C-alpha cells in the first residue's frame, strides 16, 4: 500500500482514533493493513457509465439495485467519488459483467485544488479505508489507485445531525443504522484555523463531543452515500 501526498501546512488538529492507528497531521491518514488486495487500477467512472448505458439502465435504476442514491452513481461516473469495495461484486452483477471486467479500464487521474482550510479536500480509499484531508494541491495514491477528491453534499434527512450543548462542548449525534456494510466513517469540524476529527466504526455509535468555536462546517462521511457537510 502506498500513499503519496504533498503536505502544504501544519495546523492544530484534534482527533480520536485507535491507539495503533498512525495519523499524519495536516492530512489525516489512517493506515490499515492491505488486506491482500493488489491491483494497479480501480474502477473508473467512464467504465461504469459505459457499462450502464450498454445495459440500458438509468442511474436511478442502478442506484435502486445497489441501495445507494442516484447522486452517488452520478459522482462515480464523473470522477467525484468511488464505489465502496463492498459494492464491487453487486455492481458487477447489476451491470452484467464479471468483477475482472468491471475492474478493467483507464487509470483514474486526480487533480486537487484548494486554498484555505475551509476549502479542504477529503479522500477515502475504497479498498483499505484510508482517510486523507489536504489543504493544498495534492496527488493522492493509495493501494495502487489514484483517489479523486470527494464532492460534498448538504446533510439529508437520512443522515440528520443533532447538536446539543454540554458545558463548553457540543454533543453531536448522527441518525444512522451503523451496520457492518453501511456506516458513518468519520466526522470532522473545520474552521479557518483548526480541524477536529473523530473516527467512527461499523456497529458503533455515531456520536461524539466537539468544541464548536466560531463559524465552520461539520463534515460526515457515509461509506455508501459519500461526503456531506453542515454549516454551523
The residue extents of the domains of the chain are 13-34+109-231, 45-103
Across residues 9-16, what is the average pLDDT?
Answer: 35
What pLDDT does residue 24 have? 31
Whether pLDDT at 21 is above 70: no
93's grid cell: 452483477
What pLDDT does residue 73 have? 94
Please report which confidence band the pLDDT of residue 219 belongs to, taking 50, 70 and 90 as the band edges.
very high
- Alpha-carbon gap, residue 151 to 138, rounded angstroms: 15
Among the ranges given (34-38, 42-46, 75-79, 128-132), the one the predictor scored with the smallest mean pLDDT: 34-38
Please report, rounded to a whole number, the percentage of residues in the chain having pLDDT higher than 70.
Answer: 75
Q: Which CATH architecture has domain 45-103?
A: Orthogonal Bundle (1.10)
Domain 13-34+109-231 coded CATH 3.40.50.150: no
Please report, rounded to a whole number, the percentage of residues in the chain having pLDDT higher than 90.
Answer: 50
Tens of pLDDT, residue by residue over 48-102, are: 999 999 999 999 999 999 999 999 999 999 989 989 989 999 998 999 888 777 8
Whether pLDDT at 132 is above 90: yes
Amino acid at each position: 500500500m502506498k500513499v503519496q501526498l504533498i503536505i502544504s501546512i501544519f495546523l492544530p488538529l484534534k482527533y480520536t482514533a485507535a491507539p495503533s492507528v498512525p495519523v499524519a497531521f495536516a492530512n489525516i491518514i489512517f493506515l490499515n493493513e492491505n488486506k491482500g488486495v493488489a491491483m494497479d487500477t480501480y474502477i473508473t467512472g467512464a467504465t461504469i457509465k459505459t457499462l450502464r448505458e450498454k445495459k440500458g439502465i438509468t442511474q436511478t435504476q442502478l442506484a435502486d439495485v445497489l441501495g445507494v442514491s442516484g447522486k452517488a452513481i452520478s459522482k462515480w461516473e464523473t470522477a467525484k467519488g468511488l464505489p465502496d469495495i463492498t459494492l464491487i461484486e453487486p455492481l458487477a452483477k447489476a451491470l452484467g459483467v464479471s468483477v475482472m471486467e468491471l475492474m478493467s479500464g483507464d487509470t483514474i487521474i486526480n487533480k486537487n485544488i484548494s486554498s484555505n482550510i475551509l476549502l479542504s479536500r477529503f479522500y477515502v480509499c475504497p479498498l483499505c479505508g484510508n482517510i486523507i484531508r489536504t489543504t493544498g494541491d495534492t496527488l493522492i495514491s493509495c493501494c495502487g489507485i489514484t483517489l479523486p477528491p470527494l464532492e460534498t453534499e448538504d446533510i439529508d434527512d437520512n443522515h440528520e445531525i443533532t447538536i446539543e450543548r454540554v458545558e463548553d462542548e457540543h454533543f453531536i449525534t448522527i441518525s444512522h443504522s451503523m451496520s457492518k456494510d453501511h456506516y458513518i466513517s468519520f466526522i470532522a469540524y473545520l474552521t479557518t484555523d483548526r480541524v477536529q476529527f473523530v473516527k467512527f466504526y461499523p456497529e458503533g455509535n455515531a456520536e461524539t463531543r466537539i468544541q464548536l468555536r466560531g463559524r465552520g462546517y461539520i463534515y460526515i462521511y457515509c461509506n455508501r452515500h459519500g461526503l456531506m457537510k453542515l454549516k454551523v
